[in-house]
Amino acid sequence: MRPKRESEQPQRELFQVELEQMIDMHHPLVGLGKCMDWASFEEALGATYHPTQGAPGVSTRLMVALHYLKYQHDLSDENVVLHWVENPYWQQFSGERYFQHRVPVDASSMTRWRQRLGEAGAEQMLRATIVAGIEMGAIRPAQLKRINVDTTVQTKAIRYPTDARLYHRCRERLVKMARREGLVTSA
């Protein structure tokens, strides 16, 4: 089911501290949060939610923000969720109004959300990052004409010496060489 939308003017909480009172509003993450077009994520990724079945989904902004923070700080799903609880800037970036003391989602839901997201959703996130970077002046369009791609993180077809298939190929070659040299194998 689609996430529930918060009202534009929600009622203030009496016993909770607003994040805007706790943090420096000139922090780079706050600026990035303001530059991001969060509504475009709702439109583009809203199709991944079923309109009527299931429990209400987690906020799209929260999930996108958690994934940005995960990749920015090179964290696992579990660690990004645990760090989110401790960091008011991360909470503000993900759209929270009040400081939260509990994890927002189970780490496994990030994996399932990523699978539903697909390649098109990942491209949407990358596109929004680039647009926000240009708007903030962090990158210039001329810097995007040439991109270096690091392939060291791609899986490689490496066989290790402990690989049984390698042992089998080695045995086959030894038998072939032995026959060529005239050695007779006994049965």
Contact call for residues 99 and 91 (beta carbons, < 8 A): yes
At 28-41, the pLDDT tens digits run 889 888 888 888 88
At 112-170, the pLDDT tens digits run 888 887 887 888 888 888 888 888 888 888 888 887 777 676 666 776 667 788 888 88
Higher pLDDT, 114 or 15: 114
CA distance 52 to 39: 21
CA distance 101 to 86: 8
Looking at residue 41, the DSSP 8-state letter turns out to be: H
Here the tokens at position 135 are: 């708007």
Here the tokens at position 178 are: 């032995």
At 77-106, the pLDDT tens digits run 999 999 999 999 999 999 898 888 889 888
Return phi, psi of residue 18, to 5°. Answer: -70, 140
| Ranges of each domain in the chain | 19-145
CA distance 58 to 5: 10
pLDDT interval class at 59 (50, 70, 90): confident
In the chain, the amino acid numbered 3 is P
- Which residue's structure tokens are 């993180």? 153
CA torsion angle for 87, 8, 57, 71 (degrees, to 10)? -40
Looking at residue 150, the DSSP 8-state letter turns out to be: -
Here the tokens at position 49 are: 């939610």
Confidence at residue 1, expressed as pLDDT on a 0 to 100 scale: 47
